[in-house]
Structure 1
Amino acid sequence: MKIERVKSRVSLRRTIESGTEEQRRAVLEIISTVRARGDEALKSYTEKFDGVRLDSLRVTNEEIEAAYQNVSEEALRIIREAAENIRDYHERQKRESWIIAKEDGTMLGQKITPLDAVGLYVPGGTAAYPSSVLMNVIPAQVAGVKRIVITSPPNKNGTLPAGVLVAASELGVKEIYKVGGAQAIAALAYGTETIRPVDKIFGPGNIYVALAKREVFGQVAIDMIAGPSEIVVLADETANVNEIAADLLSQAEHDERASAILVTPSMKLALAVASEVKKQLETLPRKAIAVSALENYGAIYVTETLAEAVEVVNELAPEHLEVMTAEPMQLLGQIRHAGAIFLGRFSSEPVGDYFAGPNHVLPTNGTARFSSGLSVDEFVKKSSIIFYSEPALQRNAGKIAAFARLEGLEAHARAVEERFKK
């Protein structure tokens, strides 16, 4: 990992991948074909891209029962306990509708309504992510969403990973489809004979999934265009070198474009961590991926002071931030930009990924400057409530009409004045 002396002006922000023109055209064609041909198109694309011809798109009860046979009792207990932790955390995020009454009879308020239907895209490929099922489905259920749909690309044998199916089944999800890629996003947005459309789509995917989510936005809502995973460790000379190296590699193994950065005022620590990362890489199963990530998006930034290091962190606005200093709680108030903040040596980033309870779907690419992690709020909508009394309108009609005429909207003014014509 490269070591660089800095003060504050550093950047983790990378251009959000927009794909090539060829990829965008391919996505547009897939969306158009799915809209025109429905299930037939989904099966055709699944055979073309995933190498399997499906008789049925929907996961059957038999497939779920078979999945349970391939998950150990210990793994099942862990999934269940993690789900309890995640549900308990998200229950505390629930908002209630409210209404206030004023002395003149006016009532104002806000109505919280859960979305009717949401779709969760679960990536396939080299890894299966039952944790993503928990992190997306549970806040939707807490919000009160009635219909939750999961889509995921099938394996070569035409099934979905056992962990994904078991996690979904444990949460009571009934609609699970063996469809991936841009074609799955099109089906969720526009519907087919088998898959009814949803109102909002969640979950990460490859560039084709990301481009498809962009294209269907407006027809449906989407959560975000997720970028590669990021970790920043803020550490002083009291931190454990081996633990820092392990935590940096925990993100570097995700993706060749993942980012792993150490920020510290200690050159001694910086040199020791760089050496330890090389050592731990030697036995890492996903070594090639981690090496590529560290070479291209890894760094160690050395500052003069801890205060400067905190400012560097705020400039980076990382997805995950670990604070491994002598007094981590004292720095919490100074941290303005981070998707999730892990305080102290025993709060390793994977604790948040799987088990603690907070959501692991977080803003990437520096967007923690203005956005938040996934929460119950993403699964509801808010309607304002206005009940204006006659005395209130009488008192304010002239002002409202004057404001309307200030904007050149005469009909707006007359609509108010009409109430008081004799």
Structure 2
Amino acid sequence: MMQLPRVPFCRAGADVANMWMPVWNPDSQLVETAKRVVVFGGRGVDYYDKRADDQLSYLSDMWALHITNTGFRWNKVVPIGQVRPSARWQTGDSVAYGASLVVYGGDDQTTNQVGGLGDLWVFSPRGSRSRLHASEKDYSYDASDRRSEWTEYRRTGKLPGERREPSLAMVNSTLLLQGGKMEDGESNERCDSRFFLVDLGDPQGEWREGPSFPGECGIGGTMDTVNITRKHTADGENEVRAVVFGGCKLAPDGVFSCSNDLYAYDLATNRWEEIVPKSDADAFACEADDTGESPALRHGHASAYIESKTDNMNALFIFGGRENMDDLTPLGDLWMFDFTTMRWSEITPDSKKPAPCNRFYHSLTVWQGGVGDGVASLVVFGGETITRTGQTVFMNDVWLYTPQTGAWREVRSST
């Protein structure tokens, strides 16, 4: 009998989100809820489907990751029901909506690398209503509730259409979608900079097109929901924004052009604004044209936002990516944009200590323990890298970066 995998296959372009999941408590013999890093899909090597190392598979499996002080544990997630999204990758940033995972579009084996998918899916685990009766290595559910945990949201209105590598974010119950790669009707790919919104909390909510995105059209950029403190207000109240960083576009002459700009969208005012980073030169008039340090232009990177009063942190983190879509040298740098000082700073790892290798199409999210109130850390999972000989390698490694300590550590499986 073939042994089932205990960890996810090596992959890139997977959907990853930190969300509440049902977890089996052997002491109480009941299902409880706890935070887990949930992984869905991607493209990589399925050794049970295709044995050749150079044959890649589109994946549709789901996994839940729990990290402890001594290691990690992967659990295979087995959703209820037969209704579920097709195997895919390059869906953009998956987002957590309460205790649900939201996935839009991407690329599967039917799109043949041109165009993309235009479907919207939401995964909502319901294990907290039933007992787990399988081994602790799998999330399986009682037969009392057989409604599918995957639901396709078929909304009407101004639809975003089929696309790959869009940027997604949630502001309260509203899903935001910006950018991505589309087909122009003649089997040619183009970047689409349009911006769309839909209220997932409203059963009758329709897609609508929002205000024009003011920056460069972006493929493979990222979007995160952040809190920006406006010091000019009387109480210094935080204002929620969706912040877009980076991405590439393909010019008519076939040349790729990437960005490292930051743009923020305000749902309350329905307006975009560019975030212009400050620099030390702002204090010196004679150096006012100095823009200071900032990340290189890029796409295929990953981003995550940490807000922690304990650590006095309100920052967006950017890791890895490529400077253009043909670049054979991926990036491995880590940057932080502080929304208090409005400055970029590069976080340089200790050369004597281990750190993740350069990569792109990887995943990044925040981990604060199983109950969500621990020290905030960044979790890097998988992705692609390119060796010195030009070989593309897919990965399934897990790395943890803790801003409080300023250190990376590779998280290895618990024994």
TM range (shorter): under 0.3
More strand by share: 2
TM-score when normalising by structure 2: 0.22
TM-score by length of structure 1 reads 0.22
Larger Rg: 1
